[in-house]
Structure 1
Amino acid sequence: MSTTLALSPQTSTTADCLARAARARGLAVAVLTGPRADLRGTAAYYGGPRFAETVVDSLDVALLEPADDWLPTLPERYTRRTITPMTMAEARRGSTPMFVKPPSDKSFEAAVYADGSRLPSAVSGETPVLVSEIRTFVAEYRLFVLAGEVHTGSRYARFGRLDPLPLDADPRAPEVAEFAADLLGAQAARLPGAVVVDVGLSTTADTAEEHWAVVEPNMAWFSNIYAADPARCLDVVLASAGPAARVSRRDRAFVRAPIRARV
């Protein structure tokens, strides 16, 4: 049965690239405005999680996402920093500079905050967050991972500034590949079979030493592809948010629960 790439109504360059790749493959593309029962069991979704909540039941898609505890429980040799899960209320009590991010939903801006009082007041105190030591990333790379291997990738930033470049055109590509192979060889079993992992070359403020480290994992169905190969990104997106009936047994643990089941 043919798959339809179902896009959220929010336009983006990534959605455009994926749509072109899908059409080139002979797949149908639909821009959603609401539930589409006619696509039930035949669609794969790309777009934001909030809109997904309004259509996922009608599409019967299974949205795969990494577990919130994957990053903070990685061995230090993969993170090169302490990452502590806590609630927003607990983070607000912090009195020193810290990097704070939501585990997956992008519900507020991931950034360095001077102290806990600077965190966004509109976010509920019960919201889970990850608080980490501050690191500077010399270069950051987005890796689209399929079945435990890097399927395609892109550099997306240097020193915190957007600077996309295809992974195979970057002079550090062999180093990225070596670090990714080590990481995925040890930790891929704790990730969905289709996922995005961001990695980077990090430094600390008091030393010139550089280390490869994981930045964060992300849902492939809600990730900018930057300069990665759109056709190979599409492979990962289709596997990360396709019909629920096609989800493998090992990936069932990574299916995103509806909001009503998480509150």
Structure 2
Amino acid sequence: MTIARTLFLSPRVTATGHALAGAARRRGARVETLHDWRVPDGWRVAEGASLYAGPLFADAVARELGVGLLEAPGDWLARLPHELTLRDVEFTTIEEARTLRRPAFVKPPNDKSFPARVYPDGSGLPGADAVEGSEPVLVSDIVAFAVEYRLFLLDGEVRTGSRYATRGALDVVPLADDPRRAEVAAFAERLAGTGLPSAIVVDVGLVDGSGWAVVEANAAWASGHYACDADAALDVVLCAARPEGEFGEAERRFLRPVPEVVRDRRGT
């Protein structure tokens, strides 16, 4: 017997959540919005559950829903060869990053514990009172992307994509309508074998004067879809966030380690 999926959404209303909900309903799936940071008793360990939510909210409810969450390894970007990043990227801790004496782009790999942006030096990073020193971070050389794209990947295949920025400004166009779509697809093929989970979102871009490069990887269950096809994006989300028991041994190393209990959260 085929188990029907239930897509759970966070209380935060987003355009992507709305689009994914519509796509889920069109294929006969159930859609439920969680209105609190706790899962009602009747929905705990929900059969066939999936989830679309921000990282903090996902940490709060995934275990109670019985959902496993795929994400890229925190050091994935730093382990890529230079020809795929066109810049030096270091995987370190925020305590080490605070010693930086040069401008750098600094971000948490898979969370939003502090703003991802260019910092003039390490002194501008959150202090020990806000973020623990052991928090992993990616420290990257600063490059200028002429144009950037979001790609929803399933088993290494681009299921849907969207341009989302030109020269740092929001510029949303479906990948199918973009004149560089063939170049984007060709570059995406080069990511095969780089250690990504089966369902993931990868942002790529064209670096001024240098060529194509990876911007970053994002969890599909927490990524905005821009102008991506919602039905195709939903395929990736349903694979990236599904009942934990469905994951085989090869994929379990990509599961996000969610806390046993999370209390008093206030936003996604």
Asked whether the two chains share a fold, i.e. TM above 0.5, the reply is yes
How far apart, in 2, do the equivalents of 1:163 and 1:109 lie? 21
How far apart, in 1, do the equivalents of 2:4 and 2:41 lie? 16
Q: Which amino acid aligns with 2:79?
A: T
Q: Which amino acid aligns with 1:181?
A: E
Q: Does 1:178 align with 2:183?
A: no
2:236 maps to 236
1:148 maps to 156
| Displacement of 1:210 | 2.7
198, 201, 216: which is aligned to 2:203?
198
Equivalent residue runs for 1:100-249 within 5 Å? 100-121=106-127, 122-184=130-192, 186-187=193-194, 190-203=195-208, 209-249=209-249
1:35 maps to 39
Alignment gaps of 5+ in structure 1: 204-208
Q: Which amino acid aligns with 2:200?
A: V
Q: Which amino acid aligns with 2:206?
A: L
55, 71, 74: which is aligned to 2:61?
55
The alignment partner of 1:30 has SS state of: strand
How far apart, in 2, do the equivalents of 1:106 and 1:54 lie? 15
Q: Which amino acid aligns with 2:92?
A: M
How far apart, in 2, do the equivalents of 1:86 and 1:154 lie? 31
1:14 maps to 16
Conservation of the 8 A alpha-carbon contact between 1:42 and 1:59: no
How far apart, in 2, do the equivalents of 1:52 and 1:41 lie? 17
The alignment partner of 1:6 has SS state of: strand
The alignment partner of 1:96 has SS state of: coil
The alignment partner of 2:184 has SS state of: helix
The alignment partner of 2:56 has SS state of: helix
How far apart, in 2, do the equivalents of 1:37 and 1:212 lie? 48
88, 93, 115: which is aligned to 1:82?
88
Paired positions, count: 253
The alignment partner of 1:138 has SS state of: strand
How far apart, in 2, do the equivalents of 1:73 and 1:233 lie? 26
Conservation of the 8 A alpha-carbon contact between 2:55 and 2:112: no
Q: Does 1:72 align with 2:73?
A: no
How far apart, in 2, do the equivalents of 1:47 and 1:27 lie? 17
- Cα 1:157/1:120, change in 2 over 3 Å: same
Alignment gaps of 5+ in structure 2: 262-268
The alignment partner of 2:215 has SS state of: strand
How far apart, in 2, do the equivalents of 1:210 and 1:82 lie? 14
| Displacement of 1:88 | 1.0
1:206 maps to none
TM-score for both structures, normalised by structure 2: 0.91
How far apart, in 1, do the equivalents of 2:235 and 2:42 lie? 23
| RMSD between superposed Cα atoms in Å | 1.4
Q: Which amino acid aligns with 1:194?
A: A
How far apart, in 2, do the equivalents of 1:198 and 1:101 lie? 15
| Displacement of 1:91 | 1.0
TM-score for both structures, normalised by structure 1: 0.92
| Displacement of 1:260 | 5.2
